[in-house]
Structure 1
């Protein structure tokens, strides 16, 4: 069989996959083994392409290849080790799995130390091969995802509007563009942390209004202070008013006034706001002078003011006056596909801010991004990215449990021993070798702890700290 005609199943090696678990290349000069292995991997859900030589495989492989390469070590002209070196020059992060005979195991072990992803000794069973390829494929997908997200995040400016590519966030951006330059007030509805002020600022930026963007949280100030902040006052208007103050409403004339948590506005202030909305005039405290305004108001709420029960003591007439256009912001749980890009962006900014390296998205981070419901929305995700960048988030480093199809080889006793040893090493590393803290964290007696160190061959001093 010629190498150029060696495709046994699936798509080409450029990374366009028709298999459910992605592409894989298998290289071996034995035609029977090629056929059998192609069938095994195809049944496991991979898009397989087989070649009878390393040179033939290299002709189709590039840095965009989306899967692992499995190769026999012993082949004429170009060995599996030679192929590995050539692939490392193309992209050092393409996972390479070597198939080796019993006599070459030591050679394969050294190759793993040199960067080969894994090796499988002949004869191997189908489950062992499929499991190794699945883990390598997942690693490759993570590498490519990190590259794509880093590139996308680097292209996003500091003032980029509403980052995301899901249909929900695209619709929101389109709607903002449609109403931004219209002379209408807007009500923004969104959960805590969903980006209500970002939407308001975007409305202002795209409106073309030359005045200020002025923001005020109605729930953050007591009523007396809020009234002065909003409407301003003249000198002597009340005790302590030593000089004139321009209120937020007047300061926003010609621009946009953003009132966050409008549902928290006291009833007396609601009456005055309604008057401002109807007349486009403001009357500061301590004067009968009415001042004309060129004003656009964007109000934000985290409750549905259209519902009488949710509206409570919020005035219905003020709600209807504000509700010319309502912009609902989708919560992050309804657009989770945007979470990896948002994480990459926030992690890059956090790394610049803290002077730390940009963290990669591990399998554990990806799983957390996919499974967590993000009740705090984008703000919660931003803080999570900060913690990961600072190395404070355990989920960033904890390995995922292997699925049954991908479980490592060994008896139950051997697997439990390996897992126990890993937990002990992790605990020692986390507590920098401090025995007292490690014993407390693991919840075992000190003698038991030392017995386990001896049984697993773990040297406590390798982790620093003291015996405590």
Structure 2
């Protein structure tokens, strides 16, 4: 760990005592913490990857010069800003150092406010780097992280971590396969509610005639079984998080009752004499702008504004193409580890597909593609293999059939649960089952 973990500190390195004293006074008057060194070698034992500050160093010094010090510091952590002080004759050298990773340089003689301004920018830059690292570390502790280092993904992860503790209701907007449920889980796991349950509801999979009982519960006795009704998803999320996916598909009558839950934080099950208080956070998700449904008259405007306290938009892959190689590599490694098939190389056709394809199914489609690549490699005798000359479309078609088959096996042919797990509408699932000649009845007990 660094000697300075809680305070941003400037290490000022110069063999000229008079210059050190003058510049330290300038930085002190600006309210900046500074420590001085006359020898560059003295600095290195004080630097590690957690160092939160900035190094300002003269270039020309006996022994280790400023350029050598910059290289040694960046060997420890290239994210530590190093500001070089140079004489007029060394400006060209300093410019080359910028290309090698120096943060900035100050040409003598420089104004005091110029020194302070450069140092403040460097400190802000270092703080941002360390904050992003902490966010990435926190997100990495979650089972399936949001992968990517694009500006959009860094901003999304930072916002999630900030909102997690705020306990506001959140509306997540993102296309199919962008990871809306993953974001909901991240919000829950990093919140004060993490000890309780996250209850996920796919509103599109709720039968209209059973939706109220499923969501709000029922205190009525079932005439067939003689048993008391169900608790309902809202009551099950007490002290936790209620995640409502595809909320725009919810029937208007159910929306009216949900509005009361959100406004009053109470729920009245079917047959109950009085409402019950519930302590929960509501996270809702939609594929498109929910206001479109309001304009179309299929979603209540008052419910929209109750949900729209905070909106998180997940960018599709086509808007952050720089994240595709890293995301693909993550899922490729995951698939290889599960199937015991490490140490293989992807071919040019796969690389071309990664670059040229628009990924309308986003991360889910990319993950399925990574698994299909691993599945179609030469395998153990127990695993069937595609012909070497099989087209990409045939590989994807076969992999889609495998995914549907495996999911139906896991759900024992339950169509609603299969739809929820695959994240596709009922008609789409039936179309795909018909195309692949899959009969859901064969999976039922």
Structure 1 pair 202–157 and aligned structure 2 pair: CA distance change class (3 A):
closer
Is structure 2 residue 312 aligned with structure 1 residue 327? yes
- Work out whether 1:187 is the aligned partner of 2:156: no
Helix, strand or coil for the counterpart of 1:193? coil
Residue 34 of structure 1 is matched in structure 2 by none
Q: Does 1:172 align with 2:145?
A: no
Separation in 1, partners of 2:262, 2:211: 17
Residue 317 of structure 1 deviates from its aligned partner by: 0.7
Q: What RMSD in Å do the two structures reach over aligned CA positions?
A: 2.6
Q: Aligned equivalents of 1:281 and 1:428: distance in 2? A: 59
Report the alpha carbon displacement of residue 219 of structure 1 after superposing the two structures with TM: 0.4
- Partner of residue 223, structure 1: 208
Q: Is the 8 A contact 1:228 1:247 kept in 2?
A: yes
Q: Does the Cα contact within 8 Å between 2:294 and 2:300 map onto a contact in 1?
A: no
| CA distance in structure 1 between the aligned counterparts of 2:143 and 2:176, rounded to whole angstroms | 21
By how many angstroms is 1:244 displaced?
3.2
Deviation per CA, 1:20-54: give whole Å up to 9, x if none: xxxxxxxxxxxxxxxxxxxxxxxxxxxxxxxxxxx
Q: Which residue of 2 aligns with 1:376?
A: 361
Kept in 2, the 8 Å contact 1:230–1:249? The answer is yes
Question: Matched residue of 2:200: which SS?
Answer: strand
Task: Tell me, yes or no, if the aligned pair for 2:142 and 2:186 is still in contact at 8 Å.
Answer: no
C-alpha separation in 2, matches of 1:213 and 1:428:
44
Equivalent of 2:229, from 244, 253, 263? 244
Q: Secondary structure at the match of 1:273?
A: helix
TM-score using structure 1 length: 0.49
CA 1:312–1:357 in structure 2 vs 1: closer, same or farther (change >3 Å)? farther
Per-residue deviation, 1:194: 0.6
Alignment: residue pair count = 245
- 1:237 to partner: Cα distance: 6.1
Candidates 248, 267, 288, aligned match of 1:303: 288
The whole-number CA distance in structure 2 between the counterparts of 1:244 and 1:430 is 56
Structure 1's 193 and 238: CA in aligned 2 closer, same or farther, altered over 3 A? farther
Residues 383-420 of structure 1, C-alpha deviations (whole Å, 9 max, x = no match): 00011001179xxxxxxxxxxxxxxxxxxxxxxxxxxx
Aligned to 2:76: none
- Which one has a bigger Cα radius of gyration? 1
Aligned to 1:201: 185
Q: CA deviation at 1:158?
A: 6.4
* Alignment partner, residue 260 of structure 1: 245
1:193 CA drift (Å): 0.6
Deviation by residue 1:82-128 (Cα, 9 ceiling, x = unmatched): xxxxxxxxxxxxxxxxxxxxxxxxxxxxxxxxxxxxxxxxxxxxxxx
Q: 1:168, 1:230 → 2: CA distance?
A: 34
Is 2:248–2:293's contact at 8 Å kept on the other side of the alignment? no
Q: Which residue is equivalent to 2:272? A: 287
Q: Is the 8 A contact 1:234 1:241 kept in 2?
A: no
Report the alpha carbon displacement of residue 207 of structure 1 after superposing the two structures with TM. Answer: 1.2
Aligned counterparts of 2:212 and 2:363: Cα–Cα separation in 1? 31
The Cα shift of 1:344 comes to 1.1
8 Å CA contact 1:234–1:244 kept in 2: the answer is yes
Cα pair 1:235 1:241 within 8 Å, conserved:
no
Structure 1 counterpart SS, 2:204: coil
- Decide whether aligned partners of structure 1 residues 359 and 191 sit closer, same or farther in structure 2, where only a CA change above 3 A counts: farther
Secondary structure class of the residue paired with 2:219: coil
**1:318 corresponding residue in structure 2:** 303
Within a 5 Å distance, the mapping from 1:156-167 to structure 2 comes to 159-167=143-151
The runs of at least 4 aligned residues of structure 1 exceeding 3 Å deviation read 155-158, 237-241, 307-312, 427-431
What's the counterpart of residue 347 of structure 1? 332
Q: Deviations over 1:287-343 (max 9, x none)?
A: 113211111000000121123676541111111110000000000111111111111
Which is further off, 364-373 or 319-328? Answer: 364-373
Question: Matches of 2:187 and 2:263 in 1, distance apart?
Answer: 21
Q: Distance in 1 between matches of 2:237 and 2:288?
A: 25
Tell me the SS of whatever aligns to 2:190: helix
Aligned mates of 1:322, 1:428 — CA distance in 2 = 51
Shift of 1:381: 0.2
Counterpart-to-counterpart distance in 1, 2:282 and 2:331: 30
Q: Which residue of structure 2 aligns with residue 68 of structure 1?
A: none
**Superimposed CA distance per residue, residues 119-143 of structure 1 (whole angstroms, 9 cap, x where no aligned partner):** xxxxxxxxxxxxxxxxxxxxxxxxx
In structure 2, C-alpha distance between the alignment counterparts of 1:160 and 1:329, rounded to whole Å: 16
